[in-house]
Amino acid sequence: MSDYRHNLLFGSFITPINQPPQQAVTLARLSERLGLDIVTFQDHPYQPEYLDTWTLLSYVAASTTSISIAPNVANLPLRLPSVLARSVASLDLLSGGRVELGLGAGGFWDAIAAFGGQRLTPRESVSALREAIEIIRGIWDVDAEHALKVEGERYRVIGAKRGPAPSHDIGIWLGAYKPAMLALTGAVADGWLPSLGYIEKMDLAEANSRIDEAAHLAGRNPGDIRRLLNVFGEFSPRSSGMLQGPSTQWIEQLADLVLNDGISAFILGGDDPGTLERFAEEVAPALRELVAAERSQPRRSGAHGTSIVKPVGERDVVSNGPDDAKADRDASQVVADTTTVSNNARTQYERL
């Protein structure tokens, strides 16, 4: 159990419905007025009831002044990575450095294929995401001496001109759950962005371990990878489950996720203004205060204890059953492939 000791972030995860068309924008403005750090929107281009996410992000950026914005997460199979890189950097420049990039490999393949995207296997989708990240970062790397060349199995750019560079170092946060995706997160990503419900609290420790191990194998510090979490809940007088109860319960449960599971950003899903207000006004400040007090104490183990992230050889390795053996081999190959790609890129383009 580890606290990676990132500063806490709080945000909203708003449904981009198109009727009424201004609802998502109104909730984004409310998020900013409440002092939240970031507002995010899911990206499902094949969903006719939703606004196009990138158009919405651009509109929200022009309608706000301080809050950060991000897709949660961008649908890579329907967003060409070279074009997405320029879109992200352009909006970051126009917004004064307020854009982050949540990125996913794709999941609803029937809908993606129906909308014109290519259906990929799980292995192919992870490989495509790895290639896309290299392309996106390559487009942003305007200091490289040569044009960008990435000859991937899914994505190829041959002599692409780089730029523009974003206004700030944009974080690439991956929505990841399975071993190969978690390994890719540890090897190349800036953050991990799952959703509570798709992943259970009991599984966070194993997922963090996989990310940490992949980071070590890639020569990275696991503590540099931010752990974010989409959360869903309801305020009520009595407790009835995870984030189902009074604000004091929310604070206690989220503090446990910070101090024992390394989560440092909570993005609240839902479109109810009252819930958003209580989250921002009752939970966020109290949680910041509680975590700051805990972090000021000597590091210790146990409930609400924190621990230093140790090198992989000094930590307990999660024991996997035989069903996970193939997944572990795939995850190891992701790290090996990513390391090879990074070394080649460093040699050719003096980057990564």
pLDDT digits (tens, 9 = 90+) for 6-42: 999 999 999 999 999 999 999 999 999 999 999 999 9
Residue 2 in domain: no
Domains: count for the chain: 1
Tell me the residue type at 38. I
Residue 4 in domain: no
CA distance to 17, 120, 135, 184, 320, per residue, from 332 (Å): 40, 20, 22, 9, 14
Residue 73 in domain: yes
CA distance 223 to 311: 11
Residue 305 in domain: yes
Instruction: Yes or no: say if 323 and 329 are a contact pair by the CB < 8 Å rule.
Output: no
Backbone torsions φ then ψ of 344, nearest 5 degrees: -65, -40
Q: Which domain holds residue 83?
A: 9-349
Residue 117 in domain: yes
Nearest Cα to Cα of residue 172 among 144, 192, 147: 192
pLDDT digits (tens, 9 = 90+) for 259-296: 999 999 999 999 999 999 999 999 999 999 999 999 99
Instruction: Yes or no: say if 102 and 73 are a contact pair by the CB < 8 Å rule.
Output: yes
Backbone torsions φ then ψ of 105, nearest 5 degrees: -85, -10
Q: What is the DSSP string of 226-292?
A: EEEEEE--EE-SS--BTTEE-HHHHHHHHHHHHHHH---EEEEE---HHHHHHIIIIIHHHHHHHHH
In sequence order, what are the residues at sequence separation of 6 or more whose Cβ sits closer than 8 angstroms to the Cβ of residue 141? 148, 162, 165, 349, 351
Between residues 329 and 18, which one has the greater pLDDT?
Answer: 18
Residue 1 in domain: no
Backbone torsions φ then ψ of 47, nearest 5 degrees: -90, 105
CA distance 161 to 83: 12
Give pLDDT, residue 100. Answer: 98
Residue 55 in domain: yes
Residue 129 in domain: yes
Average pLDDT, the chain: 89
Over range 244-268, report the average pLDDT: 98
CA distance 321 to 206: 13
CA dihedral 24, 25, 29, 32 (to 10 degrees): 60
Tell me the residue type at 9. L
Question: Residue 297 belongs to a domain with what CATH number?
Answer: 3.20.20.30
Helix residue ranges, H only, 101-241: 109-114, 122-140, 179-188, 201-217
